[in-house]
Structure 1
Amino acid sequence: MADPITVAIERRIDPVRTAEATSWMQAGTDLATTFPGFLGSGWVRAGEESDLWYMLYRFRDISTLEEWEQSSAREWWLQSGQAFAREERSERRTGIEGWFDAPGGTILEPQVATGAIATTATAPPRWKQAVAIWLGFFPTNVVGTWLLGLIPGFVELHLVARVGISTALFTPLMVFFVLPWVTRMLRPWLHR
Structure 2
Amino acid sequence: MSTHTDIDLEGAVAAVDDGPLTVSITRRVAPQDELLMQAWVHAGTSMAERFEGFLGAGWVRSGSEDWHMLYRFDSREHLDAWERSPERIRWLRSAADLVEHRRTEYRTGIEGWFDEPASSAVHEPGPATPPRWKQASVIWVAFFPTSLALTYLLSPFSAGWPVVLRVLVTTVLATPWMTYVLLPFVTRLFGRWLKGS
Q: Which has the higher contact order (CA 8 A, sep 6+)?
A: 2
What's the TM-score once normalised by structure 2's chain length?
Answer: 0.49
Higher Rg: 1
